[in-house]
Amino acid sequence: MAVVMMAMCPQLSWALSGSGTSSSHYKIANASDWTSFCSSCSTSSSSPSYADITGSFSTSTMLGNDKFRYAIIDGGGNTITISVTNTSSDYSGLCKEFGGQISNLIVAGTVSSSKKYACGVIGHVNNLATTLTNVICTVNITFTGSGDSSCGPMVGKVDDDVTMNNCGYIGTIKGNSNSYNVSGFIAYRSGNTVACTNCYSAATFSSWQSNSGNYAFMRNSGSSTTYTRCYYLNKPTGGTVDSGVTQTTSAKVSSAELCYNLNGSTGGGTSFYQNIDQGTKDSYPMPFSTHNKVYYSYTTHGATSQAYSNYNYPSSHIYYNTLTSNTWSNTSTPVSCKVAMKYTCSTCGATANETLTPTCNTTAATCVNDGSYDYTATSTTY
Ligand SMILES: [Zn+2]
């Protein structure tokens, strides 16, 4: 029957596919699906909905705008671009009030709010331990209120345990001259534990009041917070650098040195990837294996020092004169013999040609390619 209906009504908008259970995930391919999901998503912290994002789309609908929603969401590497303006209540972001898991997702777009906890990904975590894995947020956030903004890009208020692995923020967080309490990663740990591993904040802070309640990473970290390989680019004006986070630089962000650091300073790590000299260049680390692994390598033939690269050339390149071709010529007086050498690099396969003048065994007047010459092959290191 459903097949017949579909054939008769191709324009009809169908309900979200899947039932949201662990064996039948909701499939969210577009903004219409997302809106349906926002009203279908579980409100029980003991039985979160399961959902897979199967396409990239734009939306202005926040999950959990009406009440707390609980879900296990796999973004599939897709991008949700949000456009949120919230002047009526605290907590803004792709998810307003949320508990559960989000993985493999890019959240882009803009959030503007005059209320506290203007965020990119989750405004408020409560009632369920929450994990973000492989989540990149590039949302530009604007706080238009005054005083305590409690503004932070990844999560706003932490009221249940939060674990973040391989997550990053790249964007601008804008306030105004009488607003403060802004953080570069998580806004505020109200209670519970926070554990961040392989995370970075490349936040740019704009127009905030200088205040010691501004934090590079998270306000109120305390002893219940664990940072492992966590990096920040900028500290908001007058603010505090959290104990346990390490400063990086714009150059390190773009060169993939930060990526390398996030992988434990090991070549070929699989927490973060970044296209540097293969594929379309990435300006910051990405936690997706569709991008290329990063090494500290002799990046090109002729390189005399190592750099961050998608090529894995751990040692200097060496040309070997394998004599893959040779020609002899009898040139004008005085007669000399020439042999054309073709060198091949055993590391990268690069080739180079060179014409040598060996000592001929033949008499000068009759120099021919008789296969006999006295040139001794050696390896050439660059
Ligand atoms: Zn080479």
Compute, in angstroms, the gap from residue 300 CA to the centroid of ligand 1.
7
Q: Which two tokens stand for residue 36?
A: 């349906």
The predicted structure's pLDDT at residue 352? 78
Residue 352 Cα distances to 114, 299, 316, angstroms: 64, 17, 16
Cα distance from N-terminal residue to C-terminal residue, the chain: 71
Please state the rounded mean pLDDT for residues 302-312: 92
> How far apart are the CA of 301 and the centre of ligand 1, in A?
4
Q: Cα of 338 to ligand 1 centre, how many Å?
A: 25
CA dist., res. 77 & res. 290, Å (int): 9
Give me ligand 1 centre to Cα 277, in Å. Answer: 15
281 alpha carbon – ligand 1 mean position (Å): 22
If one counts every other C-beta atom within 10 angstroms of the C-beta of residue 323, the result is 14
pLDDT of residue 71: 98
CA of residue 325 to ligand 1 center, whole Å: 19
pLDDT of 320 over the 80 cut:
no
Q: Is the pLDDT of residue 375 over 80?
A: no
pLDDT band at 350 (very low <50, low <70, confident <90, very high): confident
Q: Would you say 178 and 114 are in contact if contact means Cβ atoms under 8 Å apart?
A: no
pLDDT of 325 > 60? The answer is no
Among 353, 362, 355, residue whose Cα is nearest residue 335: 362
Residue found by looking up tokens 């650098």 in the block: 241
Dist. CA 42 → ligand 1 center (Å) = 56
Least confident of 182-191, 232-241, 248-257, 363-372: 363-372
* Confidence at residue 381, expressed as pLDDT on a 0 to 100 scale: 44
Question: What is the pLDDT confidence band of residue 362, given thresholds at 50, 70 and 90?
Answer: very low
For residue 9, is pLDDT > 50? no
**Angstrom distance (rounded) from CA 326 to CA 108:** 58
| pLDDT value for 357 | 64
The full set of domains in the chain, from first to last, is: 26-247 (2.160.20.110), 318-381 (no CATH)
Residue 306 pLDDT level (bands cut at 50, 70, 90):
very high
Digit-coded pLDDT (tens) for 184-218? 999 999 989 999 999 999 999 999 999 999 999 99
- At 259, phi and psi to the nearest 5? -55, -45
User: What separation in Å is there between the alpha carbon of 272 and the centre of ligand 1?
Assistant: 26
What is the pLDDT at residue 349? 82
Please check the confidence at residue 373 and state whether its pLDDT lies above 60. no
Amino acid found at 84: V
Instruction: Read off the tokens for 125.
Output: 């975590």
> Which H helix or E strand runs over 32?
helix 31-40
Report CA(354)–ligand 1 centroid distance (Å). 16
For ligand 1, the distance from its centroid to the CA atom of residue 296, given in whole angstroms, is: 15
* Mean pLDDT across the chain: 88
- Expressed in angstroms and rounded, the spacing between residue 295 Cα and the centre of ligand 1 is 16
The reported pLDDT for the residue numbered 52 is 98
Q: How far is the CA of 285 from the centre of ligand 1 (A)?
A: 26
CB 301 within 8 A of CB 350: yes
Q: Where are the alpha helices (DSSP H) in 229-355?
A: 250-255, 257-262
- Residue 19 confidence (pLDDT) above 50: yes
Q: How confident is the model at residue 340, as a pLDDT?
A: 64
Q: Which residues 6+ apart lie within 8 Å of 175 measured at CB? A: 142, 143, 149, 151, 182, 205, 206, 207, 208, 209
Cα atoms in the 13 Å half-sphere on the side-chain side of 284 = 21
Q: What percent of the chain has pLDDT over 70?
A: 83
| Cα 344 to averaged position of ligand 1 atoms, centre (Å) | 8
pLDDT tier at 277, thresholds 50, 70, 90:
very high
Q: Say how far residue 209 (Cα) sits from the centre of its chain.
A: 30
The answer to whether 18 and 49 are in contact (CB under 8 A) is no
Answer whether 202's CB lies under 8 Å from 253's CB. yes
Going 107 to 248 to 131 to 100, the CA torsion angle's sign is: negative
CB proximity list for 13: less than 8 A, separation 6 or greater: 32
CA of 382 to the centre of ligand 1 (A): 8
Q: pLDDT band at residue 332, thresholds of 50, 70 and 90?
A: very low
pLDDT at 24: 97
Neighbour tally for 12: CB within 10 Å: 8
Q: For position 2, what pLDDT does the model report?
A: 43
Closest CA to 165 of 253, 232, 228, 112: 228
Residue 219: pLDDT above 90? Answer: yes
Query: Does the structure show a pLDDT above 80 at 367?
Result: no
Distance 347 CA to ligand 1 centre (A): 5
Confidence of residue 137 (pLDDT cuts 50, 70, 90): very high
State residue 318's pLDDT score: 76
Report pLDDT digits (tens) over 84-133.
999 999 999 999 999 999 999 999 999 999 999 999 999 999 999 999 99
Q: Annotate 133-170 with b (16+ C-beta within 10 A) or e (fewer).
A: bbbbbbbbbbbbbeeebbbbbbbbbbbbbbbbbbbbbb
